[in-house]
Amino acid sequence: MSSVDAVVVGAGFSGLYLLHRLRSAGLTTRVFERGGDVGGTWYWNRYPGARCDVESMQYSYSFDEKLQQDWHWPEKFSAQPDILAYANHVADRFDLRKDIDFDTEVTSAHYDANRSKWIAKTSKGEQVSARFFIMATGCISTAQIPEFDGLHDYSGETYHTGNWPHEEIDFSGQRLAVIGTGSSGIQSIPVLAEEAKHLTVFQRTPNYSIPSQNEFMTEEYERSWKDIYSRRRAEMRLSAHGSLKDLNDVSAFSVSENERCETYAKRWAIGGTGYLGSFNDLLTNSEANYTAAEFVRHKIREVVKNPITAELLSPRSYPIGTKRICIDTGYFETFNRDNVELVDINASPIQRFVSDGLVVGERKYQFDSIVFATGFDAMTGSLFNVDIKGRDGFSLKKKWYAGPRTYLGLMTASFPNFFMITGPGSPSVKSNMIVSIEQHVDFVTESILHMQKHDMKLMEPDLGAENDWVKHVQDVANKTLFPRANSWYMGANIPGKPRLFMPYIGGVGTYRKICEEIVADNYRGFVFDKVLAVTAAE
């Protein structure tokens, strides 16, 4: 069995930076990645139209000044190939590949209390022992295809947006279906509609979507960031979402109806997620929220020519922003095309799949290919894919049977030296992921250095501190409208998954300050060697 200081799972943006930091801190580190190359979510989600909805000047690493100055983004909101190229560049620039095993899954990781080490087993039969075991597997990486009746009878081609093939797929001349209208569906549908002979979109719940108003990067815009990059990055770290969005810090009802509509119209014209920053009470006051939602529905009616289709595309069953808001390029316009049909599977769900298509109500639909844009087992799925067992063989799945339990989304009691990057209970998916990734990687690295400095071997949260944090995460969410939606944030998209709000929405800056205070207070809520030794002996 080989032995290293740290085993890391995943070579996406978390794993890459983690490897760089741990290695620089002098720790021998091995990274295992199930994909054939670096990039994580941007390696797998290569469906047509895939693009990031956070601006690239912000959705990028800040840890290396020269890197952020050297790299040029071609567009304001980058497409998947450009983000993947960036991940590859980072891997090469910092010589990271030599410590990454590709096409290799970590299947289990068990804590061995006698040796105070983790033993990780891989899909290639290797066993590696390590003092630190770190899951850097991302929050949205376990693709889900619902268990539709007769799915295996279907003999055409099937694809999932989150597991897209690497070779070019030619849909021209095909009868194509897309099932699902979340961010992935909304991004891919306009592109697929141009390619396929006919596209049928199966929609269960309509989504709020704002145009991205994407554009090519201008030198002037790039300079406006790069000239003061470190200052801007510092502001991002203390912001609510880890990105600089202009929040209009007044209530929607502090202005006249005309002024309110003008604000929405302006934000709509600018595009992107900044729409939700139109007023400060959109996510806490349902009447305020209604006004923002109604404006989007008005826009849909304006764009979509067929009023029945427009109504079907208009979300009404949950407040705007409580499911992840979508950002699109020509989504609603796509439903004006002659070769596109929208099918409502809320009123009448998909009954079953058959060899050449599927059946909804009385009607059978025939397809050459079907694209599942049906989402992910988010936040916990990728953690549960590895059989993780802590002290006394306690499994993570068992501990979290009623929902994830973490301290700060970083660690969980009974699992010493096991860290999660952007785990449940941290801002994670409610933030600019790269900002949160950098903060967690820095926290983990500095905690390890702290342990080394004080000659300590083990670290884990105190159960009381963990329980308080779990409650705090729910309390914060319950002050907002978020729990009102059947979202993947709540685990609602996976049958049988416990319903609770998984990310922390107290704000990126607030969360960072809490972490800093905890560290300054001698890692309040964490316990180290001595206490653990006593607990183990009891």
Residues lying near ligand NAP in the complex (CB under 6 A): 51-53, 140, 146, 161, 179-185, 187, 204-205, 324, 327, 345, 373-376, 429, 488, 493
Task: Say which residues have a Cβ less than 8 Å from residue 218's Cβ, sequence separation at least 6.
Answer: none
Give the nearest distance from C-beta 47 to ligand NAP in angstroms: 9
Based on CB atoms, which residue is closest to ligand NAP, 205 or 467?
205
Residue identified by tokens 């972490």 is 515
Based on CB atoms, which residue is closest to ligand NAP, 119 or 420?
420
Give the nearest distance from C-beta 346 to ligand NAP in angstroms: 7
User: Is residue 243 classed as helix, strand or coil in its secondary structure?
Assistant: coil
Give the nearest distance from C-beta 494 to ligand NAP in angstroms: 9
Give the nearest distance from C-beta 326 to ligand NAP in angstroms: 8
Based on CB atoms, which residue is closest to ligand NAP, 92 or 149?
149
Q: Which of 267, 264, 269 is nearest to 293 (CA)?
A: 264
Q: Which of 143, 162, 159, 47 is nearest to 377 (CA)?
A: 143
Based on CB atoms, which residue is closest to ligand NAP, 163 or 467?
163
- Residue 395 to residue 402: CA distance in whole angstroms: 13
Helix (H) or strand (E) holding 24: helix 13-24
Q: Burial of 213 by CB count in 10 Å (0-12 exposed, 13-18 middle, 19+ buried)?
A: middle
Based on CB atoms, which residue is closest to ligand NAP, 209 or 239?
209
Based on CB atoms, which residue is closest to ligand NAP, 134 or 139?
139
Residue 75 DSSP symbol? B
Based on CB atoms, which residue is closest to ligand NAP, 56 or 187?
187
Q: Burial of 223 by CB count in 10 Å (0-12 exposed, 13-18 middle, 19+ buried)?
A: exposed
Q: What is the 3-state secondary structure (H, E, C) of 84-117?
A: HHHHHHHHHHCCCHHHEECCCCEEEEEEECCCCE
Q: What is the largest CA-CA distance in the chain?
A: 72
Based on CB atoms, which residue is closest to ligand NAP, 459 or 505?
505
Query: Which token pair is 128?
Result: 């590696």
Based on CB atoms, which residue is closest to ligand NAP, 51 or 121?
51
- Signed CA dihedral, 244, 246, 251, 252: sign only: negative
Residue identified by tokens 């910092």 is 94
Give the nearest distance from C-beta 296 to ligand NAP in angstroms: 16
Where would I find the beta strands (DSSP E) of 256-339?
Answer: 326-328
Residue 315 DSSP symbol? -
Query: Which token pair is 231?
Result: 């200052």
Q: What is the 3-state secondary structure (H, E, C) of 369-426?
A: EEEECCCECCCCHHHHCCEEECHHHCEHHHHCCCCCCCECCCECCCCCCEEECCCECE
Task: Say which residues have a Cβ less than 8 Å from residue 433's Cβ, sequence separation at least 6.
Answer: 13, 54, 59, 139, 242, 422
Based on CB atoms, which residue is closest to ligand NAP, 182 or 381?
182
Give the nearest distance from C-beta 380 to ligand NAP in angstroms: 14
Give the nearest distance from C-beta 370 to ligand NAP in angstroms: 12
Task: Say which residues have a Cβ less than 8 Å from residue 202's Cβ, sequence separation at least 6.
Answer: 177, 178, 179, 180, 343, 345, 350, 360
Which residue lies nearest ligand NAP, judged by its C-beta? 182
Give the nearest distance from C-beta 208 to ligand NAP in angstroms: 11
Cα-only R_g, the chain: 24
Residue identified by tokens 């973490």 is 406
- Signed CA dihedral, 404, 410, 414, 415: sign only: positive
CB 501 within 8 A of CB 487: no
Based on CB atoms, which residue is closest to ligand NAP, 53 or 466?
53
* Beta-strand relationship, 117-122 and 106-112: antiparallel
Give the nearest distance from C-beta 251 to ligand NAP in angstroms: 27
Q: How many residues does the chain have?
A: 538
Give the nearest distance from C-beta 135 to ligand NAP in angstroms: 19
Query: Which token pair is 538?
Result: 């009891």
Give the nearest distance from C-beta 161 to ligand NAP in angstroms: 6
Give the nearest distance from C-beta 89 to ligand NAP in angstroms: 20
Give the nearest distance from C-beta 130 to ligand NAP in angstroms: 30
Based on CB atoms, which residue is closest to ligand NAP, 57 or 465?
57
Based on CB atoms, which residue is closest to ligand NAP, 100 or 136?
136
Based on CB atoms, which residue is closest to ligand NAP, 58 or 374?
374
Give the nearest distance from C-beta 512 to ligand NAP in angstroms: 21
